[in-house]
Chains A and B, each alone.
Chain A
Amino acid sequence: MQIIQPHYHGIARTAQDYERMAMAGVVAVAEPAFWAGFDRKYPETFIDYFRQISEFEPTRAAQYGIRHFCWVAVNPKEAENPPLSYEVLKQMPEFFNKPNVLGVGEIGFHKTTRNEEEIFEAQIEMALQHNQLILIHTPHLQDKVRGTRRTLEVLAHMKVDPARVWIDHIEEHTIRAPLDAGYWVGFTLYPITKCSPKRAVDMLERYGSQRIIVNSSADWGPSDPFTLQQCILEFRRRGHSLQEALEIFHNNPCRFLGQNPKFDIQPIRVQHED
């Protein structure tokens, strides 16, 4: 089965990931800009990082036949430093012209502070000005409810088109409001701290597959890109068809990401399913 990994931090992973993902059906990954595990001091460090994910990382993925796309942004954690963030933002638009850059992300809240909100709004404004898709990170653990609520308040007053916004790391206690408001939502499958493959399938069975994206975890911490395949296996073991699986794990990423014409992978339709 062909699978898209919509949220994958390749710079933190080894080539073995790409090889195994290719063997396990992954045809494309999308790499949001994220926190590197330490707070960077210089705007140039971000710019080099954006070059890495927009120029170099696609060449690593291509060696295994995987298409690589990315997003650029100042992540929520480092947005706590506005002077640094504004310096980075000055140079971000040049990356929107790169052939694999899909939009602005991941942005949003980490601790839901005033500084984070200022930079969140500045990046939404930039995305709107440049007609870019938006990918939003919601906070981890105990901060998630408050951060998600504030995210929706910020978006509501900025006149974004909900169909062009993906709110990620959604769980059972935060799914209803963003879905009801017309946004895309993402489940992130982490071994311990976010959503599990079984719980993701529970939510798919409860809420359907419209405007839902499922991503694995793949970063520098305890994470596993193959939680996505575990989720697909769980979904299929519960009796859902191959086409239903394709709609969620391949076609939905195509539908959302494909709003940027650079993402040209088309939805798949099974002709005969026995």
Chain B
Amino acid sequence: MLKANEVLDKDFLDARCMLLEIAAFFDRLDAAAQRDGDDTVAGDQRLKQIHQALQLLTEQETTPDRVERLLHLFSDKD
């Protein structure tokens, strides 16, 4: 098993890369909405889920079950 600093060393760039892709996704979405003059996606449930997920990830004092909670967030409730 890796130590905490080893996990950070090994996976920092992967995490950075994934964050950049998420940022690019939002920029792409905004650019398309602006280009088409169409902001209907703003109310889309999937987008709300992503915002909720990002909020969850910003919690520093939390339990190590983030993946499970995100998967529940993206799951059908009924």
Task: Report A-chain residues with C-beta under 8 Å of the C-beta of B13.
Answer: 141, 192-193
Known contacts A205-B31, A206-B31, A196 near B14 by CB under 8 Å: no
Q: Is there an interface contact between A199 and B24, defined as CB atoms closer than 8 Å?
A: yes
- C-alpha gap A206/B17 in the complex (Å): 20
Q: Return the 3 tightest CB-CB contacts between A and B, nearest first.
A: A192-B17, A199-B24, A192-B13
Residue-wise, chain B 19-34 has the 8 Å CB interface mask toward A (1 for contact) of 0110010011001000
Residue-wise, chain A 191-204 has the 8 Å CB interface mask toward B (1 for contact) of 01100101100100
How many chain-A residues does the 8 Å CB contact rule pick out? Answer: 9
Binding site for A on B (CB under 8 A): 13-14, 17, 20-21, 24, 27-28, 31
- C-alpha gap A217/B17 in the complex (Å): 15
Main secondary structure of the interface of B (DSSP, over half): helix
Main secondary structure of the interface of A (DSSP, over half): helix
Binding site for B on A (CB under 8 A): 141, 192-193, 196, 198-199, 202, 205-206
Q: Is there an interface contact between A196 and B27, defined as CB atoms closer than 8 Å?
A: no
Known contacts A202-B28, A205-B31, A192 near B21 by CB under 8 Å: no
Q: Would you give 11 A-B contacts (Cβ < 8 Å), ordered by A?
A: A141-B13, A192-B13, A192-B14, A196-B17, A196-B20, A196-B21, A196-B24, A198-B21, A199-B24, A202-B24, A205-B31
- C-alpha gap A206/B21 in the complex (Å): 16
- C-alpha gap A196/B14 in the complex (Å): 12
Q: Is there an interface contact between B24 and A193, defined as CB atoms closer than 8 Å?
A: no
